[in-house]
Amino acid sequence: MNSSYNYAFFDEGSKREIRRAILKAIAIPGYQVPFASREMPIARGWGTGGLQITLSIIGRSDTLKVIDQGSDESVNAVNIKKLITLTTDVPVTNDAEKATIIQSRHRIPEKPLNENQVLVLQVPLPEPLRFFEPSEYATKKLHAEKEYSGAYLILFDEIIRLGRMAGGADHPVEVNGRYVMAPSPIPKFDNPKMHESQALILLGAGREKKIYAVPPYTKVASLAFDDYPFQREKSIGQTCRLCGASGVFMDELTDDETGSTSYQCNDTSYCLERMNSHDA
């Protein structure tokens, strides 16, 4: 039995359908557009939302970069790249600057992106109000009525119980003064990169069947209170043990023998490029 797949895996009708959802998402910044999410050859929860966006917009003139939690060589990044290159002819790069489409799980590259680039983020849970209200029917109404007390209540509750906004990644943002949006589980460190981003940011949640977007030059504000301002992670104050960078998001490493802790850039291609330029 032989079977061959269409360019970029999907049939053209499917791609067009997804592109229509993307266009709507761009037209209504931060609004979660429902779409008929397809089952993909990679598992739900492993980036199928991002993958569907990428496959629908990719063309022969594109250059692709895929990162997973900062790494170009993580299992998931490798798998997604493999699938895309199997069904398209696009070149792949690790260099954030050279890519026209960057699909990423939970990080925004350290290098600033430009107008000719699209950042596709993989989203596990697109609904910022989900832990306040489990019902989709109810949260849709809350968005329609711009009723975001729940999002603030979650943060307020943390401050009361724990003394600060205690969430890790996926700190909610308000987009264009209207919709509260889950920025996907990027660390708080990356939230400000969304604000007035030159690159188009598309977010895809495959399992939850939603696509949403932050168009270029859109206001994105992390939710906070006047007396409890938004704070980024503390570990960014450290210095990378490899390239000496600071002020970027760090991985924490423990030495097997000495038990000592050191830090290293989480964005591996950024780190590598810095090291290469040192050596040159």
Residues 33-62 that bind another protein (CB under 8 A): 34-41, 43-46, 48
Task: Please give the residues from 94 up to 133 whose contact with another protein meets the rule CB under 8 A.
Answer: 105-107, 124
Residue 275 binding another protein, by CB under 8 A: yes
Describe the crossing of helices 12-27 and 48-57 by its angle, rounded to 10 degrees: 100
Residue 159 binding another protein, by CB under 8 A: no
- The CA distances from residue 206 to 12, 92, 152, 158, 195, in Å, are 18, 23, 26, 29, 24
Query: Binding another protein by CB under 8 A: which of 150, 207, 216, 230?
Result: 207
From the list 13, 204, 240, 247, the catalytic residue is 240
Residue 19 binding another protein, by CB under 8 A: no
Query: Binding another protein by CB under 8 A: which of 15, 50, 57, 79?
Result: 79
Residue 166 binding another protein, by CB under 8 A: yes
Q: How many residues bind another protein (CB under 8 A)?
A: 74
Query: Binding another protein by CB under 8 A: which of 59, 73, 157, 225?
Result: 73
Decide: helix, strand or coil at residue 118: strand
Closest CA to 213 of 247, 242, 162, 178: 178
Residue 28 binding another protein, by CB under 8 A: no
Can 30 be counted among the known catalytic residues?
yes
Residue 113 phi/psi, 5-degree rounding, is: -95, 160
Cα 181 to chain center, whole Å? Answer: 12
Residue 10 binding another protein, by CB under 8 A: yes
Can 265 be counted among the known catalytic residues?
yes
Tokens of 235: 């570990």
**Tokens 């495959």, located at residue:** 206
Can 45 be counted among the known catalytic residues?
no
Residue 160 binding another protein, by CB under 8 A: no
∠234-99-266 over CA atoms, to 5°? 20
Residue 212 binding another protein, by CB under 8 A: no
**Applying CB under 8 A, which part among 113-121, 145-153, 202-210, 221-229 lies near another protein?**
202-210
Rounded Cα gap, residues 179 and 202, in angstroms: 15
Can 240 be counted among the known catalytic residues?
yes
